[in-house]
Amino acid sequence: PILADMAYIGAGDWVTTAKRRPPNGELTPTEQTVNRALSAARAPVERGVAHLKSWRIFRRARCSPTRLAMIAAAVLTLERQR
């Protein structure tokens, strides 16, 4: 996997980011394939989070943050399966 760029220092080795095109150069076909795979894996999660942000219950919830995080994780899992 491609290691994280400087914005993710301290996040751990499990964080992978897309490979950037070098100045005056192009990405190899393998790097392009890896970037597409990362985008495909990230897109459903980003769509789910954007969907959650529109729900009023998450803006005005009065339950504990821990419980709200569990609810959000469950909704994201269900959204990803849809």
Which two structure tokens, joined as six digits, stand for 77?
């899992």
Task: Give the chain's residues under pLDDT 50.
Answer: 1
HSE toward the beta carbon, residue 12, CA cutoff 13 A: 2
Secondary structure of 15-32 in HEC code, one letter for each residue: CECCCCCCCCCCCCHHHH
pLDDT at 10: 63
Task: Give tens-digit pLDDT for 59-72.
Answer: 788 888 888 888 88
Domain extent listing, the chain? 6-81
Structure pTM? Answer: 0.59
